[in-house]
Amino acid sequence: MHEMALCEGIIGIVEEEARKRAFAKVKVVCLEIGALSHVAPEALKFCFEAIAARSIARGARLEIVETPGTAWCMACSKSVEINQRYEPCPSCGGYQLQVTGGEEMRVRELEVD
């Protein structure tokens, strides 16, 4: 389960920001997760609770904003939304797609005290 390692990284980012900005408590961690990132949001929530319990984010709520996958179709020259890799272009049915978005996972914002 790589979500545990991802949560450890998220908490590392939160604790680094706490040191930089001198806040003592985190209420909400808002993550942006792309549809093509291979992250299971429910597993991430479960792991976050366990990892956050030993940190400045103890009791914090995890909010997840899911973003769509996007790709550039070389056949029809359009930017299209995709749900998974290797599916055909929803516009022309071609398979020459280059992923342009939806692979990211980032801390979008923190609500702190």
* CATH assignment at residue 22: 3.30.2320.50
Binding-site residues from annotation for Ni(2+): 2
- pLDDT, one tens digit per residue, over 17-42 is 999 999 999 999 999 999 999 999 99
Q: Which domain holds residue 64?
A: 2-68+102-112
Binding-site residues from annotation: 2, 73, 76, 89, 92
In a domain, 89, yes or no: no
The pLDDT value given to residue 113: 87
Residues 6+ apart with CB under 8 A from 62: 28, 29, 31, 44, 45, 48, 49, 52
Q: Label residue 87 by pLDDT band (50, 70, 90).
A: very high
Binding-site residues from annotation for Zn(2+): 73, 76, 89, 92
Q: What is the 3-state secondary structure (H, E, C) of 10-38?
A: HHHHHHHHHHHHCCCCEEEEEEEEECCCC
In a domain, 78, yes or no: no
In a domain, 47, yes or no: yes
- pLDDT, one tens digit per residue, over 39-80 is 999 999 999 999 999 999 999 999 999 999 999 999 999 999
Domain count, the chain: 1
Determine the distance from the C-alpha atom of residue 64 to the mean position of all C-alpha atoms in its chain, rounded to a whole number.
Answer: 7
Q: Label residue 1 by pLDDT band (50, 70, 90).
A: low
In a domain, 23, yes or no: yes
In a domain, 51, yes or no: yes
